[in-house]
Structure 1
Amino acid sequence: MATLQEQTLVIIPARLASARLPGKPLADIGGQPMVVRVARQATLAGVGRVAVATDSREIAAAVEAAGFEAVMTREDHQSGSDRVFEAAQIMDPEGRADIILNVQGDIPAIEPETIRRSVLPLASSPADLATLAVEIADEADRTNPNIVKIVGSPLGDGLLRALYFTRATAPYGDGPLYHHIGLYAWRRQALARFVALAPSTLEKRESLEQLRALEDGMRIDVAIVDSVPLGVDTPADLERARRILAADQAPSSRNGQ
């Protein structure tokens, strides 16, 4: 039987167009393009073959110059999920890989362990896809519509079964709220089914693509992790990422070293 690593493709969708931060995947962070940093972290996770899916020759060249795999995809994709599915078909036309992990290309400080956690629910449940969540600690985040919340039923051992995703404050009453982290580990058949669907009613209302899967009856399991990886959407986010990664890489000053 194939191992989980042999069954998994890790695909990072990346495009140059960005309303708030043009050229985002190639933004320099400590001497490396951001998308290359994500590819490096995904490779360190050791969960499967890693590639960047892009419609940009410039991005592909930067990725390949750093020693990683790039896959050229069409320019007309409406979402990262569509691009990831096309890349999976190119990388593995025989369909040997059963799990397709979509890792966003704008989370340069993500820990390899966080990437590994996004795949693990599929090893022990019949879920169609899996994703991640962090318990919300900041009171302001509970009412922030930019923080997507997961309403889920506990499965035990740091797992939930997702019932709904929303920008509202939910569920009502005492108890934890969970911040959704947008990594998706898909079973290949579920991703093929998903990209063939039209955008759904609740997806359009909440502007949340994952609701299309729930509305179609797919099961989404959620692994709870300890921290939210910094996403880079604005110039301010980029500067913060540069500071965080520079601090992480600075040599220790203890004992004169």
Structure 2
Amino acid sequence: MNESLAESRPCVAIIPARYASSRLPGKVLADIGGRPMIARVCELALAGGVDEVIVAGDDARILDVAKAQGVRAIATSSEHRSGSERISEAISRLGLDPDAVVVNIQADEPLLPPVLIRQVSASLVERSECAMATLCEPIESAQELFDPAVVKVVFDATGRALYFSRAPIPWHREGWSPMTSPERLIRSSLEASLAERDDSIEPGSNESGPSEGRTIASLPAIVHYRHIGIYAARAGFFTRFAGLEPSPAERHESLEQLRAMHHGHPIHVDIAKSSSGPGVDTPADLERVRALFPRDQSLTEP
């Protein structure tokens, strides 16, 4: 990041956190290796090179964990429909400078590398013409590509977002029939990958085949990208964004970044410098993440 620009624009990380998650209620307080998830997210945010970390939550238990981590905790309404609305309230209550850079860190990303916080904030500072900056990473499995819980993004040659979708974009017109189910596409991709792998293994080799859905062997020579749910925007834009009318595409996809694009506010997309790690949306996601953390018996969930 340009040091003169960074000095003139304070940068804060705000973690919007609500208790009543629709798919996994209370997940931000879920135990991960002996610590609440929100505590782990606070820890990585503190390592992200920002001037301050703030948790904007709607439950006293969330705020208490944040305070115990040494970050500021702001009580916000439980009526907010999105993290951006919660951040807007926090910005208003804090009286942040409209030009301050605010990084929106999701409370369910306990494995997000701190380097990505620095990357997304620098990306915004370097592009005054963009309202927001965000990150993406290549998709490596057919399961991910056809999973509606995985948000895909396409962008132009300058990195400006063209569209975000839960559908697989861009669509491989020649290879994927519109009448073919995602399940069949995933299965045929896996079969092609296994066949290719078998042909490349010499007789007598102990090498095993790839794990299910490891590659997208049947795809054309184009990279598909998964959107990583971290954003940077200036405080003044977060405030204006909360007052914008949701777009039809946003309502259909349930993706609020489409609201910004609908109203003519460009979003810059960088390819992440490091893999983001899995987020937590479902009980199965939570168990996968828990398996990556050895439990610290000296710490207990509040």
Query: TM-score if structure 1 supplies the norm length?
Result: 0.88
Q: What whole-Å deviation, never above 9, does each CA across 1:151-182 have from its counterpart, x for those lacking one?
A: 10132xxxx21011112222245411110011
Alignment partner, residue 132 of structure 2: 129
Give the secondary-structure state (helix, strand or coil) at the position aligned to 2:285: helix
Alignment partner, residue 150 of structure 1: 153
Alignment partner, residue 163 of structure 1: 162
Distance 1:139 1:228 in 2: 18
Give the secondary-structure state (helix, strand or coil) at the position aligned to 1:19: coil
Q: Residues 1-257 of structure 1: matches in 2 within 5 Å?
A: 3=6, 7-91=10-94, 93=95, 95=97, 98-125=100-127, 126-155=129-158, 160-173=159-172, 174-225=221-272, 226-246=274-294
Aligned sequence identity (%) = 42
CA displacement at 1:141 relative to structure 2: 2.2
Q: Identify if the C-alpha distance between structure 1 residues 108 and 209 changes in structure 2 by more than 3 Å, giving closer, same or farther.
A: same
Distance 2:97 2:41 in 1: 25
Q: Which structure dedicates a bigger proportion of its chain to strand?
A: 1
Of structures 1 and 2, the larger Rg is shown by: 2
Give the secondary-structure state (helix, strand or coil) at the position aligned to 1:245: coil
CA displacement at 1:197 relative to structure 2: 0.9
Q: Identify if the C-alpha distance between structure 1 residues 2 and 131 changes in structure 2 by more than 3 Å, giving closer, same or farther.
A: closer
Give the secondary-structure state (helix, strand or coil) at the position aligned to 1:60: helix
Distance 1:50 1:183 in 2: 14
The answer (yes or no) to whether the contact 1:9–1:88 under 8 Å persists in 2 is: no
CA displacement at 1:214 relative to structure 2: 0.4
Give the secondary-structure state (helix, strand or coil) at the position aligned to 2:294: helix
Q: What whole-Å deviation, never above 9, does each CA across 1:45-99 have from its counterpart, x for those lacking one?
A: 11231011011111111211232221111222111100011112222x1526521
What stretches of structure 1 move > 4 A for 4+ residues in a row? none
Deviates more, 1:35-44 or 1:220-229: 220-229
Q: Identify if the C-alpha distance between structure 1 residues 180 and 239 changes in structure 2 by more than 3 Å, giving closer, same or farther.
A: same
Structure showing greater relative contact order (alpha-carbon pairs closer than 8 Å, 6 or more residues apart)? 2
Distance 2:19 2:150 in 1: 24
The answer (yes or no) to whether the contact 2:55–2:73 under 8 Å persists in 1 is: yes
Q: What whole-Å deviation, never above 9, does each CA across 1:199-241 have from its counterpart, x for those lacking one?
A: 1111112111110000000110011114232111222222221
Q: Which runs of 5+ in 2 are unaligned?
A: 173-220, 297-302
Deviates more, 1:172-181 or 1:162-171: 172-181
Which residue identity is paired with 1:83?
R
Which residue identity is paired with 2:282?
T
Alignment partner, residue 252 of structure 1: none
